[in-house]
């Protein structure tokens, strides 16, 4: 069930059976020579479709812009400042809580979002903890789940890509988006084959360390077929994880 | 050309021929008994596809959440506070301006966004006007274009729907989303046939005035076929409008 | 009845008969070669005196500074950033709501305020809609009324100034301030006679397009006598509009 | 010279002889049984007229709303939150600094503004001190001058009102506004004759301590005549103080 | 009793006998050639130890960073922007109020904090006064006490240092820190012996006026022995002042 | 070298040999029945003394208040909202960067700070990446180092405490503070011996899950002696880590 394609009456009916909602959250940022700028938004969006097909959970629209300041040295990358993203997450949760939602499962496609979205959850909880939230509001629970953190993806990635998987513009995420958008996949030479690794500071520093945008990966190995395998491996795991979160006491 | 499906190198090439970008912006809010909650995001997204097909402009990911506080009395509606939406628009424009973009065309699907997004543009300009922007940054121009404000849509709407078009959950917007997502269209009784009209204040007041969410419309008249006509009428107009904005001196 | 010249006990008495207050809001910005920098604050202030004389409504002090970033290329212009103006409007409304005021009629003198003040209203409503306002507070209603948007002013302006009325530093507004402050009126050559028109972006762009500050007007036609006619035409209309807003169910 | 009644060209000429501007700042809050709610805005405004007449300095429009949270227990009182007032002062100074103003003399009518406006100055200076201001902007100097802190007012107040002068709704300030608006002066019994004194916390506590709003004063002693004497005593002192600030190296 | 060295159960017990807490607040900023950068945080911290020994009040951890923008021209100085410091004070008070604390005594070591911390108190009170605080929260009272503002310190300072006491990097504050940290005291030539005085604007201006950081003082006169006398003089006074604040009706 | 006990001239000298600074950051929050409320601030402060003794790095004052909203159900706990803590970290770094510092090593004592402080670093970097920082400022690098994340502490903790180490109010952290403040150590029954584990949401939920505040630990095992071993194990590791960060290219 997709929030964007539902009526408000249908959402009312959904709330009778579940207080949980799945919110894909991504980023719009460079992903190297053959990765889509939308990779980090498309991955959770693609997986959310699989999860929805399996368990019928409500899927909110994907939040396509994340915290990606370090990628601003590459054309097309967009960031929200952390304080902006905190406000966005807070408003989305506050709005849905008005209708009775209590469990917010953010399916995340971008490592750079983790700290800021976690801080946003604390900002939301702090409102209740400091006595500033509506005292009649039921307690809220938020969870950030990185789609790649599950046994299936870890295993497939290791088997297929080994040490070419990398940390940014990874083989897995590029494969998953190729599976979702096969007609858009790209060919590009990777030089060096496996990109360098290192720490992340600001965007100028990032561009110097990682000249084509990749970190530690060789996404020339990405394929539609691998994406399909990843999708089919990840969906059951994530569906179960969502359900566990939705139903936990 | 879609930002989400491009590489950063492709965006660099695009910037050699154009400094303009199209950004669909919508809302996630109730649209009456047979309208999608995503109507206001889906309309500009659908039209952006047509515009892109015609002129090849760069299309950013749709910003799916807008300023919809008045709809919070209906399940599934989400709002950003105006100050949050201002920060989002500012960060998106600031990010893209780093790469050399200078013209930002927001194709808007939601009347409730107009004031806030216009205020956001002023917040962006104010930074330059107050001497706080990077003095080397070229002057930026932002435009908010409501997709329904064009002669084609006005004419088609008037001919087909007359005084049943309405102000919220309009026949036109519901038709356009049915054209985009025909398999999801809904049937619903409208009672009264044409919804009441009135001013907009907070969400409790809104729900009292407009009990099923519609304002002044009878979207039972919406159809896939009308949506197609609207799409085909609007796209050339909006494509020309984008081009004029992109190329204006 | 003027808030600034009343005691708190007199305001208590007023609240027994009305929950509505009139708040003039303007701007401090260039108005071309012969217009006062205070034009946009003085116009609603002058008209508020006429309205008060007719219906005895409570008039708050004029908010003299508005959103005028585009005028910062001309000496003496002052702007609030949109986010600042939103906070100001919110605090003023929140304060007066503590005393029992429920209807807030902002009589506006500046087109550049419209978007931001409307966004401020949404910020105020959003607090209630998101469940963050005091649940015991009665619902609030805010209205922004541009003084020139009434049949009388439109007719007089058309008859007297025709296409020389313009969009900024208009003949009407300059006339109205001359009527209010006849001893301060100025003489200035207008070159060209009728100023150019165009879109508004930041202040550097504005100064290039509109070198003496005017848009589309020839305020050399302004006169004390025309100001008097405008005042006498507008006041009854605005008084009725205020009363309708104050008394609406 | 009044900013509101000047043209931008006249301000340009003024800037050739002075970089200093006088900005009256007040508050809109209860002033006891016979004091105007606008007392704290009207006092600096009235005095600014005298100063302007004497030395021809540029007078900005009065900022009529200040920090008055403690008065919100009395009808008609309005506050800006401190953070809002900081933003307002910052925007006003930043705007005028764009035109070349360097010295900002805030003539203050309200004790409750002192801390917040001083903090606002620090916020402005911090921008330069932290390297975030335009490095080409000349150094700015701001001064908050309480109109009653001068030898003339202190002497007159002591002679005429002695220990009935008080701390809020003082005899002096009420007299000064009666001098400015004699037709609006009020009669009211004071009970007790001299109001209590004590510390200031929130508005509920304030109302308990100071039931009619006054602190330590008996403003029944206020008169138009005393206001005239205060005006004539204060103006030369404040004019000299402004000039010294404007010309200091 | 020190908050940092207590358990939460011990704090619960404390709350049964007192709702008051002492919070040392300082700054981290240059203090001339022989003063510690931490002077303004160390002074209230040292005195708090004496007060705690005398009356057993609860002492919160020292807030070591204050509003010190004017000192940023000297290495090692740190400032919070006023708006940041307001947020910090607000969060600290809001947190402790959740546990039942009602009286917040900030023992202050830095003149530059006075305005901002006072504004923070108003921001806190405004929340209640505007009806935005939890209505069940008891009224809060905050006090900022500058440690040097007491008869003992004034007398000792006058007797020992006379006109060499000064306004920044004073003999008294340097002595007090020498008493607390005798092994760290410094020797430095003062040239001129007594530093100049003048107004405070931004950090560049400050450095020009006060080249070695001092204002009006000759802290070469500071000594461990004088610090001891100051400590012993100030503690009883401040302890009594805290107790009076804690117990006031 | 301690910033608080240095003069600005000594900091200038330090900057000639190093651009790196160590900033202990902690929290003020309950640590179960026998742990100090200041545990998370005291641990990095104690370790910083050891590191300083070994390598002479500059140690800034400890930031004692962190993000601890989840502990507000227990008396004495204090939180900064995430947005406040972001502003604090930003101001501290911006201030020190003015003097030439380029490497900021935050030695962290509190897991709850990780997300927010990491978001703060991104907020700082974003300023440069979005072109809003002073272009002449050298690139900044920030690192958050949790003191317990090093091989020595992991080994000692495992050997001595095994599965009684836990996640909050751990044996290690309580031991380390007992080593620092042996005279303040507490005795308390632990019931159950090992505390439960679980997820963290708001403070009411936390108190229900973890009734005495501990998570997964039995800090009755903590001892001064274990604290000494932990101190001696951790310091060389952390000193080397600081040096590596300070000197990295």
Structural contact between residues E125 and E50, judged by C-beta atoms closer than 8 angstroms: no
Cis peptide before B192, with omega less than 30 degrees from 0? Answer: yes
The model's pTM is 0.98
pLDDT tens, position by position, D20-61: 999 999 999 999 999 999 999 999 999 999 999 999 999 999
Beta carbon pairs, D and F, within 8 Å: 12
Query: CB distance from F130 to chain E under 8 Å?
Result: no
Query: CB distance from E130 to chain C under 8 Å?
Result: yes
Residue D166 Rama label (left phi>0; alpha psi -120 to 50; beta): left
Q: Which of E15, E16, E61, E190 to mutate to test the interface with F (most CBs of F within 10 A)?
A: E61
Structural contact between residues D118 and D144, judged by C-beta atoms closer than 8 angstroms: yes
Per-residue burial over C171-203, b if 16 or more Cβ lie within 10 Å, else e, is bbbbbbbbbbbeeebbeeebeeeebeeeebbbb
Q: Do E69 and D122 touch (CB under 8 A)?
A: yes
**Chain C positions in Cβ-Cβ contact with residue E131 (cut-off 8 Å):** 94, 98, 134, 137
- For range D112-116, the mean pLDDT: 98
Backbone angles phi, psi at D135, to 5 degrees: -65, -15
Q: What's the pLDDT at F76? A: 98
Q: Residue F135 pLDDT more than 90?
A: no
Cβ count within 10 A of residue E181? 18
Q: What's the pLDDT at B135? A: 87
pLDDT tens, position by position, F9-52: 999 999 999 999 999 999 999 999 999 999 999 999 999 999 99
pLDDT tens, position by position, C153-194: 999 999 999 999 999 999 999 999 999 999 999 999 999 999
Between chain B and chain D, are at least 3 CB pairs below 8 A? Answer: yes
Q: What's the pLDDT at C141? A: 98
Q: Which residues contact D247 (CB under 8 A, 6 or more apart)?
A: none
Q: What's the pLDDT at F133? A: 93
Between chain E and chain F, are at least 3 CB pairs below 8 A? Answer: yes
pLDDT tens, position by position, D143-200: 999 999 999 999 999 999 999 999 999 999 999 999 999 999 999 999 999 999 999 9
pLDDT tens, position by position, D189-237: 999 999 999 999 999 999 999 999 999 999 999 999 999 999 999 999 9
Between chain E and chain B, are at least 3 CB pairs below 8 A? Answer: no
Q: How far is CA E78 from CA A66, C56, E147, E203, F88, in A?
A: 31, 55, 21, 12, 11
Q: Which of E227, E220, E215, E219 is nearest to E74 (CA)?
A: E215
Q: What is the number of alpha carbons within 13 Å of residue B88 lying toward its C-beta?
A: 30
Interface predicted TM-score (ipTM) of this complex, two decimals: 0.98
Touching chains, E (3+ CB pairs < 8 A): A, C, D, F
Query: CB distance from C136 to chain A under 8 Å?
Result: no
Interface of D with C in 153-182 (CB under 8 A): 181
Band (pLDDT 50/70/90 cuts) for residue D135 is: confident
pLDDT tens, position by position, A145-187: 999 999 999 999 999 999 999 999 999 999 999 999 999 999 9
**Chain D positions in Cβ-Cβ contact with residue B130 (cut-off 8 Å):** 91, 94-95, 98
pLDDT tens, position by position, A203-246: 999 999 999 999 999 999 999 999 999 999 999 999 999 999 99
- For range B13-23, the mean pLDDT: 98
Residues B153, A98: Cα–Cα separation, whole Å: 35
CA-based nearest distance F162→chain E, Å: 24
Band (pLDDT 50/70/90 cuts) for residue E135 is: confident
CA-based nearest distance D203→chain E, Å: 5
Q: Residue C110 pLDDT more than 90?
A: yes
Domains and their CATH numbers in chain D = 3-243 (3.40.50.10310)
CA-based nearest distance C170→chain E, Å: 40
Structural contact between residues C196 and C209, judged by C-beta atoms closer than 8 angstroms: yes
Q: What's the pLDDT at B161? A: 98
Q: What percent of chain B has pLDDT over 70?
A: 100
Q: What's the pLDDT at F151? A: 95
Query: CB distance from B123 to chain F under 8 Å?
Result: no
Do strands C58-59 and A20-25 pair parallel, antiparallel, or not at all (unpaired)? Answer: unpaired
Query: CB distance from F81 to chain D under 8 Å?
Result: no
Lowest mean pLDDT among C98-107, C165-174, E130-139, F24-33: E130-139
The nearest alpha carbon in chain F to A135 belongs to F204
**Chain D positions in Cβ-Cβ contact with residue B131 (cut-off 8 Å):** 94, 98, 134, 137
The nearest alpha carbon in chain E to D200 belongs to E141
Collapsing DSSP to helix, strand or coil, E196 comes out as: coil
Q: How far is CA D143 from CA B189, C83, D22, D114, D119, in A?
A: 67, 25, 10, 11, 12
Q: Residue A135 pLDDT more than 90?
A: no
Burial label, A95 (beta-carbon count in 10 A; 0-12, 13-18, 19+): buried
Query: CB distance from C186 to chain D under 8 Å?
Result: yes
Query: CB distance from D134 to chain C under 8 Å?
Result: no
Residues D131, F136: Cα–Cα separation, whole Å: 10
Q: What's the pLDDT at A190? A: 98
pLDDT tens, position by position, B47-103: 999 999 999 999 999 999 999 999 999 999 999 999 999 999 999 999 999 999 999
Q: Do E95 and F83 touch (CB under 8 A)?
A: no
Burial label, B146 (beta-carbon count in 10 A; 0-12, 13-18, 19+): middle
Query: CB distance from C151 to chain B under 8 Å?
Result: no
Query: CB distance from D131 to chain F under 8 Å?
Result: yes
Query: CB distance from B129 to chain F under 8 Å?
Result: no
Q: Which of C81, C83, C88, C94 to mutate to test the interface with E (most CBs of E within 10 A)?
A: C94
Q: Do E79 and D126 touch (CB under 8 A)?
A: yes
**Chain D positions in Cβ-Cβ contact with residue B133 (cut-off 8 Å):** none
The nearest alpha carbon in chain E to F85 belongs to E88
**Which two tokens mark E29?**
């900023």
- For range A7-15, the mean pLDDT: 98
Query: CB distance from D84 to chain E under 8 Å?
Result: no
Place of tokens 């949050």: B84
pLDDT tens, position by position, A67-101: 999 999 999 999 999 999 999 999 999 999 999 99
Sign of the torsion formed by the C-alpha atoms of B62, B64, B65 and B66: positive
Q: Which residues contact C7 (CB under 8 A, 6 or more apart)?
A: D30, D31, D32, D33, D34, D35, D36, D37, D186, D188
Residues A220, A187: Cα–Cα separation, whole Å: 7
Q: How far is CA C148 from CA C47, C180, C225, C235, in A?
A: 11, 16, 17, 11
Q: Do D205 and E122 touch (CB under 8 A)?
A: no
Residue D78 Rama label (left phi>0; alpha psi -120 to 50; beta): beta
């Amino acid at each position: 069930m997709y929030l964007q394609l539902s009526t408000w009456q249908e959402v009312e009916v959904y709330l009778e059976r579940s207080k949980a909602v799945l919110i894909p959250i991504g980023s719009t940022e460079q992903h190297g020579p053959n990765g889509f700028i939308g990779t980090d938004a498309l991955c959770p969006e693609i997986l959310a479709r699989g999860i929805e097909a399996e368990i019928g959970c409500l899927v909110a629209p994907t939040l396509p812009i994340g915290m990606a300041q370090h990628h601003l040295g590459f054309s097309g990358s967009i960031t929200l400042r952390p304080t902006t993203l905190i406000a966005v997450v807070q408003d989305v949760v506050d709005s849905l809580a008005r209708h009775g939602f209590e469990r917010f499962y953010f399916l995340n496609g971008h490592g750079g979002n983790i700290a800021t979205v976690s801080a946003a959850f604390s900002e939301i909880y702090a409102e209740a903890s400091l006595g500033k939230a509506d005292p009649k509001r039921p307690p809220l629970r938020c969870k950030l789940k990185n789609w790649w953190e599950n046994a299936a993806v870890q295993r497939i990635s290791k088997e297929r890509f080994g040490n070419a998987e990398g940390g940014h513009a990874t083989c897995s995420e590029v494969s998953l988006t190729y599976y979702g958008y096969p007609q858009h996949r790209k060919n590009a030479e990777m030089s060096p084959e496996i990109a360098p690794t290192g720490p992340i500071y600001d965007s100028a520093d990032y561009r110097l360390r990682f000249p084509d945008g990749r970190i530690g990966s060789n996404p020339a190995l990405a394929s539609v077929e691998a994406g399909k395998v990843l999708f089919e491996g990840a969906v059951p795991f994530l569906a179960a994880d969502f359900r566990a979160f939705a139903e936990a006491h």
